[in-house]
Amino acid sequence: MESGLKRFEGKTAVITGGATGVGFATAVRLAEEGARVVITGRRVDVGRQAAESIRAAGMTAEFVPADVADAEQVCSLMDQAVERFGSIDILVNNAAIFAPGRFMDTDWTEWRRVFDVIVNGAYFCTKEAAGRMIAQGIQGSIVNVSSINSTRALEESSHYNAAKGALDQLTRNTAMELMEHGIRVNGVALGFIETPMSVVDGVKEHETNWFRDIYVGRKKIPQQRQGQPEEAAGAIAFLASLDASYMCGAVIPVDGGLSITF
């Protein structure tokens, strides 16, 4: 981060799934730039620890437990953010879940839960946060964390890829409708980022032979490596800031160049 940069001084940011991985890196980045951050998630111990670590570094953070797939919990989350800090200026829809599974082996409960968290969660959070921004006359920013898989087919991830595709379209449509209120909506499409979600059956995906062979050895990823959460957070912070003031409905890839290869 550029030293001394304070693009979010006096602003409040709500980050879903903000206790680990990209969400936590984003919470730290926004807090470093002056934001009061509200982290939310279902794991209370992890969330409280994340918020405490940010406060221990001299920044402002609170943890509010919530399941983003539950409309009532999301409403309470946004109410608490406003009660604690006075406003919601930034929303980062980062919460997601993933478990590999072939389409014919995926039952309805698993399929629905992925959509509940990724798509319905973004719907509930966007509607509640935007409603409060509009009521207070705040020209805020919403950033949706998507995936380059939203436009690609990959075995054992039909539910996740379909949900991320829906999230991209939600980004575009809400961007068009909320712009009349001065609220910008954009997204990032992440590639291989080293997070807890990238560990499958105890193995980090970037340490597998197939990753080393295809994405590094054959330069499927031109940068020949996985990304770090902080690199994703930098792009999210840019979109949340006024540096991206003329960006509306964009979904930008943060993938080391993976989306330009074939």
pLDDT tens digits in sequence order for the chain, 262 residues long: 544 789 999 999 999 999 999 999 999 999 999 999 999 999 999 999 999 999 999 999 999 999 999 999 999 999 999 999 999 999 999 999 998 899 999 999 999 999 999 999 999 999 999 999 999 999 999 999 999 999 999 888 999 999 999 999 999 999 999 999 999 999 999 999 998 777 666 778 788 888 899 889 999 999 999 999 999 999 999 999 999 999 999 999 999 999 999 7
Q: In terms of CATH, what superfamily is 12-191+229-254?
A: NAD(P)-binding Rossmann-like Domain (3.40.50.720)
Whole-Å CA distances, 216 to 27, 74, 206: 30, 40, 9
Catalytic one of 123, 160, 215, 246: 160
C-beta of residue 63 within 8 angstroms of C-beta of residue 47: yes
Exposed e or buried b per residue across 1-32, where buried means at least 16 C-beta atoms within 10 angstroms of its C-beta: eeeeeebbeebbbbbbbbbbbbbbbbbbbbbb
Closest CA to 61 of 32, 96, 90, 20: 32
Output the pLDDT for position 154: 86
State yes or no: is 246 an active-site residue.
no
In sequence order, what are the residues at sequence separation of 6 or more whose Cβ sits closer than 8 angstroms to the Cβ of residue 67? 42, 73
Residue-level pLDDT at 28: 98
The sign of the CA dihedral 77, 122, 193, 36 is: negative
Structure-block tokens of residue 24: 């936590």
Domain-by-domain residue ranges, the chain?
12-191+229-254, 199-226
CB neighbours of residue 196 within 10 Å: 12
Tokens of 40: 């939310």
pTM for the whole thing? 0.95
* The total number of residues written for the chain in this structure: 262
pLDDT at 40: 98
Given this model, what pLDDT does residue 1 score? 53
